[in-house]
Amino acid sequence: MLSQATLTQVTAMVNHVPVVVPSGTTVAVAIVLAGQACRTSVTGEPRGPLCGMGICFECRVTINGQLHCRSCQVLCEQGMEVDTEK
């Protein structure tokens, strides 16, 4: 088991707010930790990860300008820009 001191942390920006997470954390987890929804449905309902394995596409967001990324399948990287509002 790794101690807290040996974990590398990265900072990703979720809707322009910095979120610090351990290396190896998915973008979906960073979004949840930021208190954000992954997207909003056509009826205005907040949406988030449902399946956690990239099948349902409920967690899609814009990552570093690339639209429709499945946040449950992408690991956070230092300085990554995540936008849930596009």
Banded model confidence at residue 86, pLDDT cuts 50, 70, 90: confident
DSSP bridge pairs for 46: 40
- Give dist(CA 28, CA 49) in Å, integer: 7
Domains defined along the chain, listed by start: 4-83 (3.10.20.440)
Class of residue 56 by CB neighbours under 10 A (exposed 0-12, middle 13-18, buried 19+): middle
**Residue located via tokens 């300008």:** 65
Paired strand residues for 38: none
- pLDDT tens per residue across span 23-75: 999 999 999 999 999 988 899 999 989 999 999 999 999 999 999 999 999 99
